Amino acid sequence: MGVSATQSLPRLAAAGAIVLFALLPAAGLPAFYDSFLYLVFFWISLATSWALLSGFAGYFSLGHAAFFGVGTYTTATLTTQLGMNFLPTVPIAAAMAALLGVGIGAVVFRMKRLRGELFALLTLAVTFVVATIILNTPIDGGAGVFMSAVPLPHILPTATGTIYMLGFIMCVLTLGIAWSVVHSRLGMGLFAIHDDEDVAEAKGVPTFRYKLAAFGLSAGIAGAVGGIHAMYVGFLTVAGTFELSVPLYVVLMSVLGGARHWLGPAVGATFITALLYAFISGGEAMVGRAIVGLILIVAILWLPEGVLPAIKQWLKRRRRLARPETRAAVVPVVPPAAQPIKDRSLLEVRGVTKRFGGLQALDGVDLDVRASEILGLVGPNGSGKTTLINAISGFYPLTSGSIRIDGVEIGQTPAHEIARRGVARTYQIPRPFANMSVLDNVSLCATFGGPARSRAEIRDEAMHWIVFTGLDGKEEALPAGLNLHERKFLELARALAARPKLLLLDEVLSGLNPAEIDNAIRLVRAIRAQGATIVFVEHLMRAVVELSDRVAVLNEGKLFALGAPREVMRDPRVVSIYLGKAYAA
């Protein structure tokens, strides 16, 4: 019974709340309640829409007033100047705001390494620009806009009731959107972007598109909320619409409630709105503002994750205390017979050059890797091994040359496309998504890297690789709770869950002790036995000789030697680049 009861209880509660609030105007409460509850809905919608981009993906915007304001003035202009009906202007307001958001995103998200605080200030700057334009054009003209002549639709008999209902519908819609984003690929991708954008892209998340989608959605909801709010306010001014308190409160509410949870901003919004209302009705609006500021400071310093996640974590810890943790022993992996190496080349690297300013990191590298082969990539420090891995996985665009996978050119393809074509990689220093459990880390890579599958299949697949790499029992742990050895194996599990055709391993063995190395070598063999082609960068010669079918030596960005492991490693020229000429006997 347990599963179905715990799953259906929140659903029942949500349905109950919706029915209750929908029927509330029929109870004939004084108009005061209508307008207070409208304000709660208003802030829930705004704060939740802010969190869609800023909380989920981690790009803090201080420009939410711009999108809200564009929506407000779209509705105002369409109704008062063009005589449109109110209701159809709301989706137009949403569209205009979304357009602005996507437009800004298309510019700023192209910047490499857009720093968070810069994004925050740029969005703030946009608010000033939009406000100035509206102030100086006939949209407002500085005189303000009266909305009183615009007829409200007859949803409910009273005007306050109708506005209440509009705000309520908007609020339910917004929360519904937030919930479905969290439980979709988009949400998963956004959370990954929040933790480590480069890795998200390498694992197959189309980061640019996802950020744009989140920005458009966030701005669009704010625009629709603004359109409705125009009717509530009645008289619009630029100063009142593009107020700094909009971004301040929205950030505060989300951060307080928990910006990474779909319901967090709603919790914060309800609390803060009630607090502000208490101060305003007590005639102490200014003091209320100061107290809100104080709460924000305290919240950021002591509860950086927000109230809701803190409660969730506390509940989880209690549940874990009740259920003793099962720690499975590491299962040794027995390598089945290796697959024969095929004649067909899976990876073709031709004349690949990569320059960083004056530094020639790769200088015309040619390399073929045959299907089902294990190729060891060695060379002294700075010889270009990791750069080549980065180039193949699409992290760096090539300066010149071409790279083909299965005959398809990928030299200029974005990293997430390459990941979808079956290339997976690990990082020398593990880069797990810090706020996701081990299971979520692996599931994300299965979702975005591998073939399309159902949620249950992805979970099974992820669990399979977690067991395969000996991480079972740790699937609910956060990466911070793993030791280096386990984190290296998590890197492997993430790469494997994408079911790669080509697996690029960047020093998976460094930092491991001899027993762990033996285990890792067995793992790599087992991976190959399942049909993957492997290129691995390694300094540990024992592993290179044991594992590789062929070894490629890079030196100063050029392919220096290529051949069977033992012969290459005995080649005096190779010895001399490693140890200096004196040893090259």
Partner 1 sequence: MPSATLLGQALISGVLAGGMYGLLGLGLSLSWGLLRLVNLSHFALAFLAAYLTYELGTNYHVAPWWSAAMVVPAMFAIGLLQHWLFDKFRVNELASLLITFSFAIILEVAIQLYWTADYRRFETHYSTLSIKAGPFYIPVLELVLCTVAGVLAWGTWLWLRRTYVGKALRAAAEDADIAAAYGVDHKKLAYLLSGLGAAYAGVAGTFIALIATLAPAQIWTWLGVVFAVVIIGRLGNPLGALFAGFLIGASESLAMAVFSPAWAPVVSFSVLIAILLWNPEWA
Comparing CB distances to partner 1, the nearer of 244 and 315 is 244
Phi-psi region of 376 (alpha: psi -120 to 50; beta: other; left: phi over 0): beta
Q: Crossing angle, helix 185-195 and helix 159-182, to 10 degrees?
A: 70
Query: Where does this chain touch partner 1 (CB under 8 A) — which range of 70-78, 135-143, 185-193, 338-346?
Result: 135-143
Minimum distance, C-beta of residue 206 to partner 1, in the bound complex (Å): 20
Question: Using CA atoms, how far apart are residues 76 and 227, in angstroms rounded to an integer?
Answer: 8
Edge to edge, the sheet with strand 550-555 lists 423-425, 502-506, 533-537, 374-378, 550-555, 558-563
Q: Does 300 bind partner 1 (CB under 8 A)?
A: yes
Query: Where does this chain touch partner 1 (CB under 8 A) — which range of 65-73, 281-289, 490-498, 506-514?
Result: 281-289
DSSP state at residue 534: E
Figure out which of the listed residues 290, 338, 408, 515 binds partner 1, where binding follows CB under 8 A: 290
* Site map 405..444 versus partner 1, x via CB under 8 A: ----------------------------------------
Comparing CB distances to partner 1, the nearer of 62 and 90 is 62
Closest CA to 69 of 213, 212, 224: 224
Closest CA to 538 of 522, 523, 527, 554: 554
Comparing CB distances to partner 1, the nearer of 301 and 334 is 301
Closest CA to 90 of 134, 23, 155: 155
Give me the amino acid identity at 542. Answer: R
Figure out which of the listed residues 26, 28, 117, 407 binds partner 1, where binding follows CB under 8 A: 117
Figure out which of the listed residues 3, 5, 27, 301 binds partner 1, where binding follows CB under 8 A: 301
Query: Where does this chain touch partner 1 (CB under 8 A) — which range of 79-87, 148-156, 293-301, 357-365?
Result: 293-301
Q: Does 280 bind partner 1 (CB under 8 A)?
A: no
544: Cα separation from own chain's centroid: 36
Figure out which of the listed residues 65, 94, 97, 126 binds partner 1, where binding follows CB under 8 A: 126
Q: Are 584 and 572 in contact (CB under 8 A)?
A: yes
Minimum distance, C-beta of residue 297 to partner 1, in the bound complex (Å): 5
Closest CA to 417 of 230, 130, 205, 248: 205
Pairing label, strands 502-506, 423-425: parallel
Any bridge partners for residue 408, and if so which? 405
Closest CA to 107 of 74, 139, 89, 129: 129
Comparing CB distances to partner 1, the nearer of 124 and 477 is 124
Q: Does 142 bind partner 1 (CB under 8 A)?
A: yes
Figure out which of the listed residues 32, 128, 356, 583 binds partner 1, where binding follows CB under 8 A: 128
Q: Does 173 bind partner 1 (CB under 8 A)?
A: no
Q: What is the DSSP string of 78-107?
A: HHHTT---HHHHHHHHHHHHHHHHHHHHHH
Please state, in angstroms and as integers, the Cα–Cα distance from residue 499 to each residue in 184, 297, 441, following that order. Answer: 21, 46, 15
Figure out which of the listed residues 22, 244, 280, 328 binds partner 1, where binding follows CB under 8 A: 244
Query: Where does this chain touch partner 1 (CB under 8 A) — which range of 31-39, 150-158, 249-257, 265-273?
Result: 249-257
Residue 21: both structure tokens together: 């609030």
Figure out which of the listed residues 12, 297, 311, 484 binds partner 1, where binding follows CB under 8 A: 297
Minimum distance, C-beta of residue 52 to partner 1, in the bound complex (Å): 18
Comparing CB distances to partner 1, the nearer of 335 and 414 is 414
Figure out which of the listed residues 255, 256, 495, 509 binds partner 1, where binding follows CB under 8 A: 255
Please state, in angstroms and as integers, the Cα–Cα distance from residue 505 to each residue in 312, 509, 532, 537, following that order. Answer: 36, 9, 12, 6
* Site map 59..98 versus partner 1, x via CB under 8 A: -x--------------------------------------
Q: Crossing angle, helix 438-449 and helix 455-468, to 10 degrees?
A: 120
Figure out which of the listed residues 24, 95, 99, 121 binds partner 1, where binding follows CB under 8 A: 121
Please state, in angstroms and as integers, the Cα–Cα distance from residue 430 to each residue in 199, 206, 308, 331, following that order. Answer: 10, 21, 29, 22
Query: Where does this chain touch partner 1 (CB under 8 A) — which range of 86-94, 122-130, 352-360, 400-408?
Result: 122-130
Q: Does 310 bind partner 1 (CB under 8 A)?
A: no
Minimum distance, C-beta of residue 51 to partner 1, in the bound complex (Å): 14
Figure out which of the listed residues 37, 98, 120, 504 binds partner 1, where binding follows CB under 8 A: 120
Q: What is the DSSP string of 113-178?
A: T--HHHHHHHHHHHHHHHHHHHHHSTTTTTS-EE-TTSPPP-SSSSHHHHHHHHHHHHHHHHHHHH
Q: Report how many residues bind partner 1 under the rule CB under 8 A.
A: 42
Comparing CB distances to partner 1, the nearer of 252 and 544 is 252
Q: Does 531 bind partner 1 (CB under 8 A)?
A: no
Question: Using CA atoms, how far apart are residues 200 and 448, in angstroms rounded to an integer?
Answer: 9
Q: Which residues bind partner 1 (CB under 8 A)?
A: 60, 107-108, 110-112, 114-118, 120-122, 124-126, 128-129, 131-133, 135-136, 142, 244, 248, 251-252, 255, 286-287, 289-290, 292-294, 296-297, 300-301, 304
